[in-house]
Structure 1
Amino acid sequence: MNKDQLVNAAKDMLDRAFVPYSKFPVGAALLTKDGKVYQGCNIENAAYPVTCCAERVAIFKAVSEGERDFEALAVIANTDRPVPPCGACRQVMSEFFSPDMSVYITSKDMEVKSTTVEELLPFSFTPEDLEKGRQS
């Protein structure tokens, strides 16, 4: 699957977003190294903190199915510029993706910016930090 196909898989999710409060649909598509695609959309809740972003929905679907090897992630929203992932999504990405994994952020006009997990969240907190910080 190429970048454009992955972006289109993310775009297909915009209509599935459950966004009665923000009216801000976001779609995501996550490609595994073996070619599977896990799609996600944002799902809101009246208790705003328990809302889940499209990126995390796609990641959690894949992880819950046993996936751990990822190739690329595409994200799209109806924004004028390529949509940047929120901080929570960036942290989850740093947990499950390699620092050099491609992330394609996309605007409503299909402007795609290619970036990496490391560029989105430099000097991220990792499982290694947690392990090294534990007291014996």
Structure 2
Amino acid sequence: MHDISDELRTQLLAVRDRAYAPYSRHPVGAALVSDDNHTFYGCNVEIANYKGLCAEASAIAALISSGRQTITEIYVIGPGEHLCTPCGDCRQRIREFATPETRIHVLDGQANWLKSYTMDELLPDSFGPENLAGL
């Protein structure tokens, strides 16, 4: 079980509710915590050609825009009671800025903790920046 502060719960519900998801009707919110303890939020933004931006990617863009690059924790909230884990693209995006200690927390639609993952559990045998070293 993972404790979620009232402030984080409130912010996650608010960012999820601001998602622009007219096509899937599946709003998603994300919050990530940087290695210097700043929190960044994102929501999914869909567009008519179905090549939208996921909530996790939106939060990562905010992290990078701030000049930071390391994720220590990320929280993902979907609309229902089921697991809303990051998609394949987002798993790779998270991997780019995660450490082996990074925790990925998945919440239900009321921002209650459901399950947590390490990066290796979420994306086993992954390919990352170190695989390109020396090229």
TM-score (norm 2): 0.87
**CA RMSD across the alignment:** 1.8
SS of alignment partner, residue 59 of structure 1: helix
Indicate if the aligned counterparts of 2:72 and 2:99 stay in contact, CA closer than 8 A. no
Structure 2 residue runs of 5 or longer lacking an equivalent are none
Q: How does 1:5-20 map to 2 (within 5 A)?
A: 5=5, 6-20=8-22
Q: How many residues align?
A: 131
Specify the alignment match of 2:133 in structure 1: 131
How far residue 3 of structure 1 moved from its aligned partner, in angstroms, is: 4.5
SS of alignment partner, residue 101 of structure 1: strand
Indicate if the aligned counterparts of 1:41 and 1:57 stay in contact, CA closer than 8 A. yes
Q: Deviations over 1:56-99 (max 9, x none)?
A: 10011111110123321100001332211100000001111112
Indicate if the aligned counterparts of 1:82 and 1:111 stay in contact, CA closer than 8 A. no
Rounded Cα–Cα distance in structure 2 between residues aligned with 1:38 and 1:124: 24
Select 1:29's aligned residue among 19, 28, 31.
31
Percentage of matched positions with identical amino acids: 38
How far residue 9 of structure 1 moved from its aligned partner, in angstroms, is: 2.8
Rounded Cα–Cα distance in structure 1 between residues aligned with 2:32 and 2:109: 19
Specify the alignment match of 1:67 in structure 2: 68
How far residue 8 of structure 1 moved from its aligned partner, in angstroms, is: 4.1
Structure 1 residue runs of 5 or longer lacking an equivalent are none
Rounded Cα–Cα distance in structure 1 between residues aligned with 2:35 and 2:133: 27
Which one-letter code corresponds to 1:114 in the other structure? S
Which one-letter code corresponds to 2:14 in the other structure? D
Which one-letter code corresponds to 1:66 in the other structure? G
TM-score (norm 1): 0.87
How far residue 115 of structure 1 moved from its aligned partner, in angstroms, is: 1.2
